[in-house]
Amino acid sequence: MRITILNGEPGPGSPFHGYVHRLAGCLRDSGHQVTLLDLAALDLKGCSGCWSCWVKTPGRCAKEDDSARVCQAALDADLLLAASVVRMGFTSSLLKRAADQMIPLLHPHFLIQGGEVHHRPRYARYPAFGLLLGAGPDTDAEDLEITQAIWRRFARNFKFRPVFSAVADRSAREVADALAAAA
């Protein structure tokens, strides 16, 4: 299975950063093809709401940065895993910056999907989606539940099939096995 991991942890020396890298190693040991993107190491300029990716350069962000790499890695995967510590009640602004710059993966036209207005898919195929959260010092169960609810909506909007959600409170090996089984 091809797995792309978006590591939204800004600090390369943090325990969660190390955890995500151990998880990638466990998945590779199990025979999966893993692309691990440390978002802190990428040049992501962020979405400025210009809609160029919909109406000027359809399908591509007009900014010269690494967001194209994120979009390509997401679409190439069978499973896209977003990983971040929850601080102040939500995943990191770094992960959010990457997510905001994924809107070129959708088409601006609207359609009805599951009884709601959503954007039309631009692609024939989208990956399954997983969410891996770390609990920050101020994180409680409600924060995790709200964060998961928001990312479920994100997956729904992006035509990603949500298959996995976990908190990094088990060994990386256990999470890797659970992730592979879920997908």
Partner 1 sequence: MPSLLLLDGSPRGPRSNSMKMLARLAEGWEQAGGAPPQVLHLARRADRELAAAVFKEAEVVLLGLPLYTDAMPAQVMEWIEALAPRPGGGPVLGFLIQSGFPEAAHSRPLQRCLEKLARRLRCPCAGTLVRGGGESLQLRPDCSNGRLWALLRTLGGQLARDGRFGAAEAAALAGTERYSRVAAALLSAAFRLPAAQFYWNRQLRRNGAWDRRFAAPYGRAAGS
Q: How far is the CB of 169 from partner 1 (least distance, A)?
A: 21
**CA 175 to CA 152: how far, in whole Å?**
19
Q: How far is the CB of 179 from partner 1 (least distance, A)?
A: 22
Q: What backbone phi and psi angles, to 5 degrees, belong to 100?
A: -60, -35
* Radius of gyration for the chain, computed over Cα atoms and rounded to the nearest angstrom: 16
**CA 161 to CA 27: how far, in whole Å?**
20
Q: How far is CA 171 from the centre of its chain?
A: 21
Convert 15-44 to b/e letters by CB count within 10 Å (16 or more is b): ebbebbbbbbebbeeeebebbbbbbeebeb
Query: Would you tell me which residues interact with partner 1 (CB under 8 A)?
Result: 46-51, 54-60, 68, 71-72, 74-76, 87-90, 92-94, 96-97, 99-100, 102-103, 105, 107-112, 115-118, 120-125, 138, 142-143, 146-147, 149-151, 153-154, 157-158
Closer residue to partner 1, CB minimum distance, 27 or 102: 102
Check if the beta carbon of residue 134 is closer than 8 Å to that of residue 19: yes
Query: Nearest-CA neighbor of 136 among 166, 164, 168, 165?
Result: 168
